[in-house]
């Protein structure tokens, strides 16, 4: 879906503060060894209807549990606080106490009730937060929060990311212009099973928390849950959406005539952020997109697409510009769903390499040149049914090992 659909329009310079009522900021409080921002916040002028999705890793980080409690209490958030450089995961009772202290400190600093504050963390697992630095940073945050603070916030949430990730669209709902914006971080430990890494979506639409949760669940399944970098699901993965309701539109529900347009814009925001995370995978040189068509079921299409995109051998072949389709067909065959082994077609871009499960003569040099590009599209047609799914990932490079071998040093 894109702006040409006329269901929504991309706002090129938009950020999480473009929707009415939102401000943001970020600063360095001392969690990172460099002077880069490591504490950020999104603030809404009013309590915003909220929804979230969270990692299914059993070792769920303490801040996620605290945020879930906040949203469960009233379905709203007004302040979303995040630190980078320390995940506050696997830190026991002290870690949970520290997450609650962060929530209480932010509530005091911004003058809101504690249950209107969400908190989250990203970085090294298993180390306690230096709470003196964190609390001092939270005290300084309100002075730096501003309507154009989206960039500072994006910088504050990065760890091994090389680039910030943000997107904004506008949608016409009745006679009103509604904005949906998002920011995310993620580069390594990427293989979500709910959402991915950290994602923050803001909108000024009038929409209830129940409808937001429904929309977030649905879009997550086909965006954030369809990317992988390294096959590792983090302890801290979370996506939170906040709706200020300040656009003035008639409340959005699935029965609203403009629901489809709003849902399309929401989906687009999630997909752009998800693809940006995959493209920025640690050490990556290219984005890989795998589309599985004509599968027997949606579940099969999704599983096969993610198996291919997650294959270390496929990822390595893409890095080396080696048109080794055998690695692709092997991944298809081990994805856990039945396939007709005589009917599979595979293309690299528009280059056919397999037809009806038999090799096709192709120009190796042309294929290698295609695989050297920044976007590699792998098409797998099972010729079995009507289901289709797309997954995104990146190549596996020498730099991935270098970055992760020295992550804590």
Instruction: Enter the DSSP assignment of 146.
Output: B
**Spatial separation of the C-alpha atoms in residues 147 and 137, rounded to whole Å:** 19
Buried b (16+ CB within 10 A) or exposed e, 359-396: eeebeeeebeebbeeeebbbbbbbebeebbbbbbbbbb
Q: Which helix (H) or strand (E) segment is 353 a member of?
A: strand 351-355
Q: Which residue shows structure tokens 């904005």?
A: 179
Partners of 202 in beta bridges: 181, 242
Active-site residue numbers? 196
Which residues share a beta bridge with 103?
A: none
3-state secondary structure of 389: strand
Q: Name the DSSP class of 325.
A: H
Is beta strand 22-27 parallel, antiparallel or unpaired with respect to 39-54? antiparallel
> How many beta carbons lie within 10 A of that of residue 37, not counting itself?
26
Q: How many CB atoms lie within 10 A of CB 161?
A: 23
In the numeric block, the tokens 């068509």 are attached to 293
Q: Which tokens sit at 311?
A: 């294959």
Per the CB < 8 A criterion, the answer to whether 30 and 133 are in contact is yes
Task: Count other C-beta atoms under 10 Å from residue 69's C-beta.
Answer: 15
312-345 CB burial, b ≥16 within 10 A, e <16 = eebbebbbebebbbebbbebbeebebebeeeebb
């Amino acid at each position: 879906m894109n702006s040409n659909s006329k269901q929504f329009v991309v706002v090129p310079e938009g950020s999480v503060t473009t929707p009415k009522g939102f401000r943001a900021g970020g600063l360095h409080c001392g969690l990172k060894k460099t002077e880069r921002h490591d504490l950020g916040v999104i603030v809404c002028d009013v309590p915003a209807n909220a929804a979230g999705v969270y990692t299914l890793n059993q070792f769920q980080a303490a801040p996620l549990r605290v945020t879930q409690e906040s949203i469960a209490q009233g379905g709203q958030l007004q302040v979303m606080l995040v630190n980078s450089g320390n995940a506050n995961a696997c830190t026991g009772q002290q870690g949970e106490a520290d997450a609650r202290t962060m929530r209480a400190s932010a509530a005091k600093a911004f003058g809101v009730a504690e249950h209107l504050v969400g908190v989250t963390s990203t970085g090294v697992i298993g180390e306690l937060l230096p709470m003196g630095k964190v609390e001092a940073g939270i005290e300084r945050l309100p002075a730096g929060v501003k309507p154009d603070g989206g960039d500072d916030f994006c910088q504050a949430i990065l760890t091994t990311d090389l680039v910030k990730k943000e997107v904004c669209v506008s949608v016409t709902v009745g006679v009103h212009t509604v904005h949906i914006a998002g920011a995310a971080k993620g580069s390594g430990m990427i293989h979500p099973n709910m959402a991915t890494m950290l994602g923050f979506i803001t909108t000024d639409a009038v929409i209830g928390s129940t409808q937001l949760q429904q929309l977030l669940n649905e879009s997550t399944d086909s965006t954030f849950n369809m990317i992988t970098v390294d096959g590792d699901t983090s302890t801290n993965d979370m996506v939170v959406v906040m709706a200020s309701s300040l656009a003035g539109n008639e409340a959005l529900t699935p029965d609203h005539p403009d629901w489809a347009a709003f849902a399309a814009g929401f989906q687009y925001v999630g997909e752009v952020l998800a693809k940006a995370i995959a493209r920025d995978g640690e050490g990556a040189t290219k984005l890989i997109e795998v589309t599985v068509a004509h599968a027997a079921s949606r579940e099969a299409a999704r599983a096969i697409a993610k198996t291919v995109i997650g294959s270390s051998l496929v990822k390595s072949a893409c890095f080396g510009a080696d048109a080794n389709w055998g690695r692709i067909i092997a991944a298809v065959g081990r994805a856990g769903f039945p396939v007709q082994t005589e009917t599979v077609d595979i293309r690299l871009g528009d280059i056919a390499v397999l037809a009806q499960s038999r090799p096709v003569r192709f120009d190796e040099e042309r294929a290698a040149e295609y695989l050297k590009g920044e976007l590699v599209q792998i098409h797998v047609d099972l010729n079995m049914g009507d289901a289709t799914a797309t997954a995104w990932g990146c190549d596996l490079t020498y730099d991935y090992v270098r970055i992760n071998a020295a992550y804590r040093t």
